[in-house]
Amino acid sequence: MFELDVQSRRPIYEQLMEKFKELMISEVLREHDQLPSVRILAQELTINPNTIQKAYRQLETDGYIYTIPGKGNFVLPQRNSKNSLKEEKIKSELTKVLAEALYIGVEKKEIYRIVEETSLLAKGGNT
């Protein structure tokens, strides 16, 4: 499914969460798609099942997936996963990054181009 960097300073569960978020944003994983079981994914990636469980728990807390006991973990529909606290945090971080980019001289046109490109990628398009 994907590879994780065991040499990275970032914890494995965070890398796993980011990979799943990327798959959801690019619509490789769609609403109500089932995620691989903890046991199967642990075998495929050769990592501890507790690490995968931790990533799944955090994804559920963050509003990206939901769990049906005995059935598994599924992608939460976007309209239901609006998390205003998470949204505000992202907006705040984005504002800081944009302010820094403008301060160091990145042109507004370049920022708009990046936003447009990212928007296409998020909708599953190709640039």
Q: What is the pLDDT of residues 37-89, one digit of tens each?
A: 999 999 999 999 999 999 999 999 988 999 999 999 999 987 544 556 567 77
State the pLDDT at residue 127: 47
Burial of 98 by CB count in 10 Å (0-12 exposed, 13-18 middle, 19+ buried)? middle
Residues 3-26 have a mean pLDDT of: 89
Residue 40 lies in a domain: yes
Q: Measure the CA–CA gap between 68 and 91, rounded to whole angstroms.
A: 31
**Residues 76 and 114 grouped into a single domain:** no
Q: In terms of pLDDT, which residue wins out, 57 or 90? A: 57
Q: Measure the CA–CA gap between 60 and 80, rounded to whole angstroms.
A: 12
**Residue 50, H or E segment:** helix 49-61
Residue 117 lies in a domain: yes
**Residues 53 and 34 grouped into a single domain:** yes
Q: In terms of pLDDT, which residue wins out, 118 or 53? A: 53
Residue 113 lies in a domain: yes
State the pLDDT at residue 63: 86
**Residue 74, H or E segment:** strand 72-75
**Residues 95 and 115 grouped into a single domain:** yes
State the pLDDT at residue 12: 94
Residue 2 lies in a domain: no
**Residues 91 and 55 grouped into a single domain:** no
**Residues 35 and 68 grouped into a single domain:** yes
Closest among 72, 63, 70 to 24, alpha carbons compared: 63
Domain that holds residue 33: 12-80
Q: Which two tokens stand for residue 108?
A: 């507004």
**Residues 73 and 111 grouped into a single domain:** no
Residue 5, sorted as left (phi over 0), alpha (psi -120 to 50) or beta, turns out to be beta
State the pLDDT at residue 38: 95
